[in-house]
Structure 1
Amino acid sequence: MTLWLTRLTPSPTSRLAQQELNGTHGTSLHRRVMSLFPDGIKDSARTHFGVLFRVEDTSSGSYLLLQSNLPPDPTGLPDGYGTLVSRPLDQLLDALTPGRTLRYRCTASPVRKPGATTRTLYQLPAVVDLHGEAADAWWHRQAGQAGLKPLTLHSQPAESVRDHQGPRTSAKERGNRVRHHRVRFDGTATIIDPDLLRTAIHNGIGRGKAYGCGLLSIAPAPDPA
């Protein structure tokens, strides 16, 4: 199955596009992304179309990276919202071989879920955000499960994404609060298992995938001397 990588560049004159890409309310951006794919899917449409996405912030503005197993339909965007450019990832994924060096990037939600006894003993929440060295250790575990051996790692906090689940019929009835702690991981790595890596790229890493977490991006890098 072909994977497609799409760059959505918002129009500088579209206030809606700027708000959705620069905000931290994940549901509105998720709905915008899913509006680019066909309706009528009984199960999770995000999973069905293999949708993962991430907002990239640069000095010249923000844009959206979107991965999917079907090219997104640009007619799903409001007039003047922005432009889409898609390309297949077949050539990149087919070239993955053991020992090859890659550059990687992933904005993920590093957390741990302590057991009931530990939560009670230390009065911990059900989900604990990981920071600093703990977040880096989490990434090393995830990378290993994705068939990678990290050579370098630079991590930096990213703003948490917040939203609500459920109906918003009134100010007092806003459903469950949703918050995903995020960290961006960048670096280089050696491929250990290409099949595990392809699976991780297809499925994403960690939680919060509907909120812009988990997209693993790779690119060729020079082999270390």
Structure 2
Amino acid sequence: MYLTRFRINTGRVGARKLLASPQTMHAAVMTSFAEPPAPGGNGPRVLWRLDADGNSATHLCIVSPLRPDLTHLVEQAGWPTTARWDTFDYTPFLQRLTPGDTWSFRLTANPVHSIRRNPGEPTKVTAHIGPAHQLGWLLKQQEKGGFRVSEKPPGKQLIPGHDTHDLLIHGRRQLRFAKKGNKDQVTVVAVTFDGRLHVTDPGAFRATLTRGLGRAKAYGCGLMTLAKD
């Protein structure tokens, strides 16, 4: 597995085209591989995410089973004469994960649930909009995902009984686009979770980090990355 980070030159026309369309960005990511991994299945997959920090820098993060070549992205959306990208061997880090490890994490995800508006109608996948429901979605992923989001002691809760987890939900984006060959618009609501977690099941957690969490993985959702706590 490999972890790659590439800074995007947002002043370039090519970069703006990529940032405006998750489909275009997905295609650009997948063409980073001579033989892209087949989608689906239970193995590791290509995951990507866009991060914008407070210094107006925008980075593309990629986790992939194969080492990517981002030459085309440097030429289209980077600094061709000075900038490259950083790729790290992710496997040794993944193998060192143990129960009880504590990490800061970032996850951009598409929190959804299935609802039935009227009896007898089929269920419909609908986005969670409010932070409380988005938090509830993340907490439901914990057991299967092999982690537990850190809880705040009562004395550190800004709103006792409500601000219960060491977590910030921000960066809500509503992505609308039409799939190729389909006139109907697709809508994806993406939010970013920044927080702290504890590893409970290293095997399941490795799957979370390499297969992604939730839906809309092709459109920049599902990738969780870690930093030292």
Q: Say yes or no: TM over 0.5.
A: yes
- Give the whole-Å Cα distance in 2 for the aligned partners of 1:105 and 1:208: 17
Q: Structure 1 stretch 132-141 or stretch 70-79: which is displaced more? A: 70-79
2:47 to 43, 46, 52: 52
Confirm or deny: 8 A CA contact 1:49 1:70 kept in the other structure: no
Aligned-residue RMSD, C-alpha = 2.6
- Give the whole-Å Cα distance in 1 for the aligned partners of 2:228 and 2:18: 31
Is 1:99 matched with 2:87?
no
**C-alpha distance after superposition, 1:106-131 (max 9, x if no partner):** 010001012xxx32149997122112
How many correspondences in the alignment? 207
**C-alpha distance after superposition, 1:63-117 (max 9, x if no partner):** 1111111111133436353232111112321221111111111010001012xxx
- Give the whole-Å Cα distance in 2 for the aligned partners of 1:202 and 1:30: 17
Q: Which residue does 1:113 correspond to in 2?
A: 114
Q: SS of the counterpart of 2:138?
A: helix
Alpha-carbon distance, 1:18 to partner? 3.4
Q: Which residue does 1:170 correspond to in 2?
A: none
TM (norm. structure 2) is 0.81
1:20 to 14, 18, 21: 18
Distance 1:212 1:40, change over 3 A: closer
Distance 1:71 1:127, change over 3 A: same
Confirm or deny: 8 A CA contact 2:174 2:190 kept in the other structure: yes
Alpha-carbon distance, 1:60 to partner? 2.8
Confirm or deny: 8 A CA contact 1:35 1:77 kept in the other structure: no
- Give the whole-Å Cα distance in 2 for the aligned partners of 1:67 and 1:143: 21
Q: Which residue does 1:199 correspond to in 2?
A: 207
Confirm or deny: 8 A CA contact 2:214 2:222 kept in the other structure: yes
Alpha-carbon distance, 1:27 to partner? 0.6
Is 1:162 matched with 2:160?
no
Alpha-carbon distance, 1:179 to partner? 1.2
Alpha-carbon distance, 1:13 to partner? 5.1
Confirm or deny: 8 A CA contact 1:109 1:183 kept in the other structure: yes
One-letter amino acid matched to 1:55? L
- Give the whole-Å Cα distance in 2 for the aligned partners of 1:155 and 1:94: 29
Q: Which runs of 5+ in 2 are unaligned?
A: 79-83, 151-165
- Give the whole-Å Cα distance in 1 for the aligned partners of 2:118 and 2:40: 37
- Give the whole-Å Cα distance in 1 for the aligned partners of 2:50 and 2:104: 18
Q: Which residue does 2:135 correspond to in 1?
A: 136
Alpha-carbon distance, 1:161 to partner? 1.8
Q: Which residue does 1:33 correspond to in 2?
A: 29
One-letter amino acid matched to 1:137? G
Is 1:67 matched with 2:72?
no
Confirm or deny: 8 A CA contact 1:34 1:46 kept in the other structure: no
Q: Which runs of 5+ in 1 are unaligned?
A: 168-173
Q: SS of the counterpart of 2:45?
A: coil
Alpha-carbon distance, 1:45 to partner? 8.7
Q: Which residue does 2:159 correspond to in 1?
A: none
- Give the whole-Å Cα distance in 1 for the aligned partners of 2:121 and 2:51: 36
Percent identity for Structure 1 against Structure 2: 28
TM (norm. structure 1) is 0.82
Confirm or deny: 8 A CA contact 1:10 1:18 kept in the other structure: no
- Give the whole-Å Cα distance in 2 for the aligned partners of 1:20 and 1:120: 39
1:4 to 2, 24, 36: 2
**C-alpha distance after superposition, 1:139-165 (max 9, x if no partner):** 011133211111122112421222111
Alpha-carbon distance, 1:166 to partner? 2.6
One-letter amino acid matched to 2:195? G
One-letter amino acid matched to 1:37? F
Q: Which residue does 1:183 correspond to in 2?
A: 191
